[in-house]
Amino acid sequence: MRHLLVDARQRRIAAVLIGRGKKAQLVDWAQLSGFGPDAVMVVDEGALRPPSDDREQAAAAGKLELVGKRALSERGNELGELDDVTFDADTGVLEDLLIGGRRVPAGSLLGCGSYAAVLKETQENAP
């Protein structure tokens, strides 16, 4: 199973997680030579590394998983659940977020953590 670590500030995928829990390892996006629906290709085996900080360890524990994450506006109102995320398979840059059936540009993402993904509040999602 493959999971992704997102850099919210740059709105792109920072790394891919291989495995979960104590044995989890990360591959930085820059070290990937290919990304597909069933597998990723790494430059070489040395690209796999253990989690190096608290955030990466939280990701390894599955706490930062974007899909299924609570979506919260920066004004403090819940927007729904993050159903899906699309991104450019070459650059790793996020494109769209699917929230409660609505498509929202990834530019709205302000931050994401274990509790919620925080989004700018727009006309569509204001309460």
Q: Is 74 in the site for another protein (CB under 8 A)?
A: yes
φ/ψ of 104, rounded to 5, equals -125, 135
φ/ψ of 108, rounded to 5, equals -80, -15
Binder to another protein among 73, 85, 94, 104 (CB under 8 A)?
73
CA torsion sign for 66, 72, 73, 78 is positive
Stretch near another protein under the rule CB under 8 A, chosen from 15-23, 28-36, 74-82, 91-99: 74-82
Stretch near another protein under the rule CB under 8 A, chosen from 21-29, 39-47, 89-97, 108-116: 108-116
Q: Is 5 in the site for another protein (CB under 8 A)?
A: no
